[in-house]
Structure 1
């Protein structure tokens, strides 16, 4: 007798299930970073990279001089060459790893050497720009006076690449040097020296802040990688010392991440503002006569604390009447980030 119900698996579904399992297994292997992790060798290599003396100091001085020359001549290639040889990664990585494994001695050593490197770099750059002042501020220099959302992502993913490469058996030198390029720690240090040399406090503190953000997110990325790979924690026999170390490490981690987190939020807000401003220009300004020129020459001025501005200068090519101006101002309210933005259109006069 033939049954109306068939609870057996459909033979046609078997290949699909096998294919799904294969794809899942392949993806897990593809993104698995735990394979070939050398815990002992990694920690030893990180500790050896932290000390800053002798040849390392001179290599840093040379890289700073090269970067300053690149900034002086507005040459991106020369700046990249300086970042290739800059030995700043050791203390930054050491800070992140030390925080991850609860190693107070490593944190102290990394912090001390990091401060020495920053001071030496800033001093070298200051001396260079005192003897070879810029004739005109270059785009490479101005790009290192304030962070934006791209700096945060470049620093984080560059730090992650560095940490992953460092934990593998056999150092992936090209990746580590690529991180030095991506995170751009050297150019902000040169800008700090330039700001000191010319007495521009705004440039100095802006570059310090950018450098701090880059270094923080590199350390944070290495912290995350080490935690994901489950490196063994440092345990102290003395319970009081253990609690003290945990508190110090936790306090240091929070202290470092608070300004970095605030910067990320501010940079994200500015990024949204600029994105909506560009959308507004492409949608409403490009339709005007000589619209392409008006869009390309428009200036977007973001100000978090006061009124932001959108500047459009026709330069006499087209006369924008008062009715069109009012319509353009009303269209700003359609964008939540542009509601309080002041639209300034320069007249022909």
Structure 2
């Protein structure tokens, strides 16, 4: 049986005397300082070296163990939390020494950065929240994790990416951009290792390099939540992973390299695994944690959405933008599609005319199903979305093509519906027509949401079918058809109100689609600001009449709440107001209430009109303007 050396540094001598020499297992140990041990070089393969020292001394002794073949166990100092958590070392010294003496010993791989042993991790550049202990140092729960989140948030606008060139053991060349790289071999309970646990194994001869490269502030925030709180079983979009036996890392500009929390130097650096380089004696918890994972001989390169194209690399070398940058392929595909949809074609003209005929007839028939069919058939949404992109990027070709198609589409709808209204012998305002004569801010909200959905669907071919639902939600052709009907009937008010609804939809879609395209990374904020300014001004101008219309709608709702389905006593009769309809006129300024006045069969005489009017005026007084005349149009009914 070999000797059990307890090797400590000079700085720890007082602590060793106080805490360990009088401990339970002191008699089984041969105490010696690090310098004396290294000088004598007396340990053999039969011996076990228990190390109690600073990190630098631990690394020297571990490196020497490969030459002399002795086993190593580590007892962590009270302040060495990272070391203790990485190797699952008990906090109490007696318990830690017991594990060192009786724990299972196995040969494990060692990670080196050139000639420096890496015990728990290496950090190249900045990779928040690396080093935040999500399992043990943060045992306090969510408040501690929120502190880590806030600490990482503070670095959002300071992070900068470097061009990264990686070369693996099998000569795979990787070009990307990242703010930082974390290189680890053991599960050290950091946020980084929490994301890549599935790739780590003590005896597979490979290290794990985690590349942090958020494409935007929004993606960075999502990555932080997933990394700190563990809200995902998949790698976040902002992260790439490389698994290899050797890794050469270059960066432009060079990045600072830290080994186990201490500054080592700058890139370029080489990390390399030394197989079975250390015979480690550790706790059962450590072996269960490390050996439970599968081993694989394959190199792994998972870059996900990390930048690889030259244009993306150049774009990402600046501060992380608030919104992402669309990759070249996605950008080219979408623009080709939008340019095609912006062009005026015979198909567009035919479909616009057919959808107008359907919409106009549906409005006359008061048939919502026919009107919905017209909404689905109309292709007007496509050039509007193209126009929005052209406005966003100030792409004049796309802008004018989209505007030309939209304008011709509007004229086709107005002309066709005008002709039908003029030819057909109908002049009744159906509920389908009336429903398009009072646009409010609520219609603007529908248009904005529909614009967001339309732009998002254009960017994601998997949900392109959802555009049909968008077309139904934000009706484009029916309001223009209603405006055309107003022209055919020579009713200016119908034309004006219906066309305002179309303009509301148009302005809302353009603003929302442009904003969504910017958020999705199809235009930098600097280039998009002029287009967004114009669309915002248009939206605000449209909102003015919509606000007044919305205020009127709220007023009508309050009046109905005060009067409809309520019981009143007038002239000793029980009466109620039902089927209340409210209308407004200007010049003169009148509030017209049309309703059924229902009286009970008991009692004699009729309810006087002046008493009814006085009662109603009293109840709705807060909603009446001073100059507004109240007019009642009453149908009397008696309930038996």
TM-score (norm 1): 0.76
**RMSD of aligned alpha carbons:** 3.9
Give the aligned length: 321
Residue in 1 that maps onto 2:413? 121
Residue in 1 that maps onto 2:522? 231
Per-residue deviation, 1:320? 4.7
Residue in 1 that maps onto 2:457? 165
Between the aligned partners of 1:271 and 1:278, the Cα distance in structure 2 is: 11
Greater Cα offset, 72-81 or 263-272: 263-272
Per-residue deviation, 1:255? 5.5
Q: Indicate the structure with greater strand content.
A: 2
Select which of 304, 318, 337 maps to 1:45: 337
Residue in 2 that maps onto 1:265? 547
Greater Cα offset, 10-19 or 198-207: 10-19
TM-score (norm 2): 0.44
The answer as to whether partners of 2:563 and 2:616 remain within 8 angstroms in 1 is no
Per-residue deviation, 1:153? 1.9
Residue in 2 that maps onto 1:329? 617
Residue in 2 that maps onto 1:92? 384
Between the aligned partners of 1:254 and 1:227, the Cα distance in structure 2 is: 14
Residue in 2 that maps onto 1:253? 535
Residue in 2 that maps onto 1:57? 349
Between the aligned partners of 1:34 and 1:303, the Cα distance in structure 2 is: 51
Between the aligned partners of 2:532 and 2:451, the Cα distance in structure 1 is: 20
Task: Determine whether 1:189 maps to 2:480.
Answer: yes
Q: Secondary structure at the match of 1:298?
A: strand
1:105-120 aligned at under 5 Å gives the runs 105-120=397-412
Between the aligned partners of 2:351 and 2:629, the Cα distance in structure 1 is: 49
Q: Secondary structure at the match of 1:172?
A: helix
Structure 1: stretches of 5+ with no match in the other structure: 1-7, 236-241
Structure 2: stretches of 5+ with no match in the other structure: 1-135, 146-224, 238-322, 569-573, 601-605
Tell me the alpha carbon deviations over residues 243-282 of structure 1, each in whole angstroms, 9 at most, x when there is no partner: xx987x5774366324312133223312321232232225
The answer as to whether partners of 2:363 and 2:432 remain within 8 angstroms in 1 is yes
Q: Secondary structure at the match of 2:567?
A: coil
**CA gap 1:300/1:129 in 2 versus in 1, 3 angstroms:** closer
Tell me the alpha carbon deviations over residues 206-228 of structure 1, each in whole angstroms, 9 at most, x when there is no partner: 22222111111111110121122
Higher Cα radius of gyration: 2
Between the aligned partners of 2:342 and 2:550, the Cα distance in structure 1 is: 33
Task: Determine whether 1:280 maps to 2:488.
Answer: no
The answer as to whether partners of 1:50 and 1:109 remain within 8 angstroms in 2 is yes
Q: Indicate the structure with greater helix content.
A: 1
